[in-house]
Structure 1
Amino acid sequence: MRLTLYLFLGILLAGLNACTDQCKETRTFRQFTPVTLTIAQVRNGIQAEQPRTLVNPGKIYTKDGFLLINEIKEGIHVIDNRNPSSPKMVAFLRIPGNGDMAIRNNVLYADSYMDLVAFDISDVQNIRELNRVKDVFPNGQFDGGFWSINAQQAIINDQKVEYVTQTVQTNCENTLTNGGCPNCMFWDMRGGVVQNFNSVQSGANAPAPSTNGTGGSMARFTLYDNYLYTVSQSDMQLFDIKTPSDPKPGNKINLGWGIETIFPYKDKLFIGAQSGMHIYDNSNPEKPVRMSTFEHARVCDPVVVHEDKAYVTLRSGSPCQGFTNQLEVVDVSNLYNPRLLKTYPMKNPHGLGIDFPNLFICEGAYGLKTFNAADAMKIDQLEHLDGFHAFDVIPLGKSLLLIGMDGFYQYDYSNPKKLRLLSKIPVQRPYPAS
């Protein structure tokens, strides 16, 4: 009897060990392959084309009923969104090395690897290049891969991203490895035509007599007064746009490493970095001055602000490393001494948007969450929409714009407890969804 019991326990333990040793997991990885482009190829590659489908969408931007969606490193989709229930693809502006954008009046500013390019978009059927500020961005990052310019050889060293799905053997208790793929990086699941962009609608934060568009929390470009502000991984580069069609390089300010996003609020700039949130006084728009830094663990952290509260999301599983997934509410009533009020656990938060008291948080592969943020010490979740990927959002009154790896979604949030889907523009990706 005792021998039988020992045999049974031995078999049971062997089974448990087998589970630990032989777990299988299917994962999707980003695999980087070096590529080289000539500067001439990039500068001659800009062209207005017929509409195309979404494949690898990035940032979103909106102005006067138009929606712009970045196709990472490829260009910008222009969409007529006057009827949110039926958006219409209008054109595609091919811009090699594009990741960010901003609009002042009828002028679109977009990065093209090392250059800033200004476009006349007053006629969306005939978008044309106006001016170019050359060699102002020496390097950058797209989708986890870095690029840099070699001015001596007139080339750009970049990385082509391919998505590879593998079934790997893992330890059941440790599933955060890269599956033994040395050149891979674990995929962070993440962002009739009107002819005139100009309207009487004015940008909420711009004192200059002009109209600006609206970007999301993941933006690296923003506008204030007579300046365009752009942030790289380490610097803030200003451009004088008193004459919108002719941007001029302005001051360049070192911010430290790991800079990710920029969010303007009134006459202040809130800059998200991997190690914290920087606050800059922008009362002199030509020369922003650092006021303080709210520090946190090394993670990605976009930020939005309403009155004396800043809302910061921290996430793991990204190039920022770290293992923190949470929302932080920060008291910024004293801009020289920001202090943490409360943290709320999240799954894998990305971009966020505030239309007080409504707070929207993208949870990456876990969808979208809506909250009532009226009380900073008791933020209540109202709804969780899952089954899709959410990267960034822009709340516009009662309409919510959302971008993710699955495509573009538009919701009516008149009832923030039950969002109503208005429309969707899906992606047609050549790689499998995770």
Structure 2
Amino acid sequence: MKFNYLLLFFVGCFFISCSNDKEYEYLNVATPITITTAELRASIEVLPAQDIVESGKIYAYQQYIFVNDVDKGVHIIDNRNPAQPTLINFLKIPLNRDVSIKGNYLYADSGRDLVVFDISQITNIQMIGHVENVIENYQAIAYPEDADLYNFDDYDSYNDIIIGWDITVERREVADDIYYETLDNATAGGGGTGTGGSLARFKIVNDHLYVVDNSSINVFDIQNLASPVKVGQEYVTWEAETIFHEDDKLFIGSRTGMFIYDISQPSSPQYLSEFNHMRFCDPVVVDGDYAYITLRAGTSCMNGDAQMLESRLEIVNISDIYNPQLEETYIMDEPYGLGIKGDQLFICDGASGLKVYNKSDISNLQLLQNYTNINAYDVIPMDERLLMIGNNTLTQYNYTETGIELISEFTIQ
């Protein structure tokens, strides 16, 4: 009899243990690494040349190239000899993604702030001021894709700035996740200009700087180059991504479509029309009567959701600016930035490399070249050469009658 009771006891313990185990799971919990706004502003400085961590966008001004190091700052490259570029220095700017330059004044985002540098002496750059809290819906640090939960217990959204994530594996009761926010809940909250790529969020037009944040066009008067003043803000849509200027129009790329604004009154952009598409990442460039839009699928462009449609290039007829119409579609692999020079169309197709097309007949694009040994992110078609960035490497090409030819490859390290 004792044996039977003892057996029942152990069997009962086994089932209780199994039942308890089923109430727990192992989760990747992401906790934000933060600094205060004051600490962020105090950390901006000009440093000697540094190794790059993650290359972002590029910007060209005079004989220099500015390469964004995502959320870290800006590397400055002397490109007077394109065959042998050299690193000069590094602007440490936390939460930086974009720059734009006019008359030797460089404007850069740093979280909610617009920062101004005097670059008239490229080896002795001076930071001359902040315009504080003017980019309300700034592009925040990316949320880690492998996180299951986000722990915001000690996060003060009004005073803290997220600069990274600490991810730990934790054993939690299944019911515990009601105390932790998910990703959706956590996201509330005078001498010429340079040239940026199609992924830019900054654009200078005459005496105004237009900055696209995650939802709006922010307008700055820069008649006094050293002291920009915010003079307007126009809501576009949530998940706005890029800006392109042609004539007196701004073309805003978003994850849901292209939005067209008139800036004949520079401080007050006026909505004209839009072209909608399924949810994709979406830069746009314009040439004549056509807008060229690369649409990249994938979970990072879908807030983690599945995307059944293929990545593509869409060519939109904008001859009637109030009624854009889809003209042609071409399937791509992983498109990011793009650019145009004459009849040549350059598409950065991610791991599939840089593709060069003849676009003289938009209904029958001809692939001229495909540089497949590179990871292509963004391009700037300059007058004399093509600049491309990808995988921490700046690549430069000369134009030819049949495409492009390599000048140099320069890894930032």
What TM-score, normalized by structure 2, do the two folds share? 0.81
Match of 2:202 among 221, 224, 237: 221
CA contact (8 A) 1:221 1:228 kept: yes
Match of 2:95 in 1: 97
Match of 1:411 among 375, 380, 397: 397
1:164-221 deviation per Cα after TM superposition (whole angstroms, max 9, x unaligned) = xxxxxxxxxxxxxxxxxxx99xxxxxxxxxxxxxxxxxxxxxxxx7411000000000
Is 1:156 aligned to 2:161, yes or no? yes
Match of 2:289 in 1: 308
Offset of 1:161 from its aligned partner? 8.8
Distance 2:360 2:265 in 1: 32
Offset of 1:139 from its aligned partner? 4.0
Distance 1:264 1:121 in 2: 24
Match of 1:424 in 2: 409
Match of 2:350 among 360, 364, 370: 364
Offset of 1:160 from its aligned partner? 3.6
Aligned length in residues:
353
One-letter code aligned to 2:266: P
CA contact (8 A) 2:141 2:163 kept: no
1:354 alignment partner, SS class = strand
Which one has the largest radius of gyration?
2
One-letter code aligned to 1:303: V
Is 1:264 aligned to 2:245, yes or no? yes
Match of 1:37 among 12, 18, 35: 35
Distance 1:415 1:142 in 2: 42
One-letter code aligned to 1:329: I
1:140 alignment partner, SS class = coil
Distance 1:161 1:139 in 2: 23
1:377 alignment partner, SS class = helix
Offset of 1:157 from its aligned partner? 2.8
Match of 2:115 in 1: 117
Distance 2:165 2:385 in 1: 35
CA contact (8 A) 1:218 1:302 kept: yes
CA contact (8 A) 1:389 1:406 kept: no
Offset of 1:91 from its aligned partner? 0.8
Is 1:253 aligned to 2:234, yes or no? yes
Q: For the aligned residues, what is the CA RMSD?
A: 2.4
Offset of 1:341 from its aligned partner? 0.8
Distance 1:87 1:31 in 2: 43
Distance 2:299 2:76 in 1: 29
Offset of 1:151 from its aligned partner? 6.6
1:215-268 deviation per Cα after TM superposition (whole angstroms, max 9, x unaligned) = 000000001121100011111111110111100011111111110000011110
Match of 1:388 in 2: 374
Q: Whose helix proportion is higher, 1 or 2?
A: 2
Which blocks of at least 5 consecutive residues in structure 1 are unaligned? Answer: 1-29, 163-182, 185-208, 429-434
2:396 alignment partner, SS class = strand
Match of 2:78 in 1: 80
1:375-395 deviation per Cα after TM superposition (whole angstroms, max 9, x unaligned) = 111111101111221110001
Match of 2:131 in 1: 133
Distance 2:53 2:84 in 1: 20
1:107-132 deviation per Cα after TM superposition (whole angstroms, max 9, x unaligned) = 00001111101110001111111221
Identity value in percent:
41
> Which segment drifts farther, 39-48 or 407-416?
407-416
Distance 1:371 1:248 in 2: 41
Offset of 1:140 from its aligned partner? 3.1
One-letter code aligned to 2:385: S
CA contact (8 A) 1:389 1:404 kept: yes
1:261 alignment partner, SS class = strand
Match of 1:239 among 220, 225, 235: 220
Offset of 1:406 from its aligned partner? 4.2
Offset of 1:324 from its aligned partner? 2.9
Match of 2:9 in 1: none
Is 1:288 aligned to 2:269, yes or no? yes
Distance 1:156 1:144 in 2: 13
One-letter code aligned to 2:339: G
CA contact (8 A) 1:370 1:416 kept: no
2:203 alignment partner, SS class = strand
Offset of 1:400 from its aligned partner? 0.9
CA contact (8 A) 1:34 1:157 kept: yes
